[in-house]
Chain A
Amino acid sequence: DIQMTQSPSSLSASVGDRVTITCQASQDIGKYLSWYQQKPGKVPNLLIYDASTLETGVPSRFSGSGSGTHFSLTISSLQPEDVATYYCHHYNHLPPAFGQGTKLLIK
């Protein structure tokens, strides 16, 4: 099975900062990587799929990049409402798997 490793596990940044979260797959997964945002006590919400395609309605400050085994999620200008845990998720083949999550806080 493919293992997904996110880093960092948590980070704290200031409003307006550029924030990057990385996700590494243990095998080549092509472009089949999605990112989810889960705010405290809420349901996960799809942000990006196919590594870099922004889901409809997601603010343009979110972007994704990468292919193969290395991927990243970037928030270009951090907003207070971005406080959440972010998960990567591969769906290249069965079984799909999530990263362990990155908890994002505001300084």
Chain B
Amino acid sequence: QVQLMQSGAAVKKPGSSVRVSCKASGETFNNYIVAWVRQAPGQGLEWMGRISPVIEASNFAPKFGGRLTITADSHTKTIFLELSSLTSEDTAIYYCATEGKGRFLQYLLAWGQGTLVTVSS
């Protein structure tokens, strides 16, 4: 099973962008689809988007419009989330997670440890 290790906490100014990384180890990286989920302080889980590294195809939740980019570097086995035009409402813990296999869209099997992004002036 894949293990996921995320980058460290970040503090960003409103209007700026943040890039969070998620490095995979263990099984073959390209076998898995990786999703991003976030959790605002004291709130529930929110699905943001996903990427298939092998075909470099991604899907996004409509609410993020063009602010969200998800990319993959197969050489380093790393997935990147980039969110632009940050506001205080983007303050959250961001998790990457692998999907189970066998179907186009699956449950979330293994999770990274989370990355706290704080947006503050």
On A, residues with C-beta under 8 Å from B are 1, 32, 34, 36, 38, 43-46, 49-50, 85, 87, 89, 91-101
Q: How far is the CB of B52 from chain A (nearest CB, A)?
A: 13
Which one, B7-15, B71-79, B83-91, B105-113, is touching chain A? B105-113
Closest 5 CB pairs of A and B: A34-B107, A49-B107, A98-B45, A101-B44, A43-B111
- Whether the pair A44, B95 counts as a contact (CB closer than 8 A) is yes
Q: Is the CB of A91 within 8 A of B106?
A: yes
What are 8 residue pairs bridging A and B, where the CB atoms are less than 8 Å apart in the complex? A36-B45, A44-B108, A89-B47, A89-B108, A91-B106, A92-B105, A94-B105, A95-B60
CB distance from A8 to the nearest CB of B (A): 14
Bound complex: CA of A43 vs CA of B113, how far in Å?
6
* Most chain A beta-carbon contacts within 10 A, residue among B46, B100, B107: B107
- B41 CB, min distance to chain A CBs, angstroms: 12
A36 touches B62 (CB 8 A): no
Q: Is the CB of B114 within 8 A of A87?
A: no
Q: Are B44 and A97 in contact (CB under 8 A)?
A: no
Chain A residues within an 8 Å CB radius of B105 = 32, 91-94, 96
- Chain A nearest Cβ from B22, distance in angstroms: 13
A-binding residues in B (CB < 8 A): 37, 44-47, 59-62, 95, 99-100, 105-109, 111-114
Chain A residue with the shortest CB-CB distance to B100: A49
Which residues of chain B are within 8 angstroms of A89 by Cβ–Cβ distance? 45, 47, 107-108
CB distance from A99 to the nearest CB of B (A): 7
Given contacts A96-B47, A97-B47, A98-B47, contact A46 B107 (CB under 8 A): yes
Closest residue on chain B to residue A4 by CB atoms: B44
Residue of A43, A49, A93, A97 most packed against chain B (CB within 10 A): A43
Q: Are B108 and A34 in contact (CB under 8 A)?
A: yes
Bound CA–CA A96/B70 (angstroms): 17
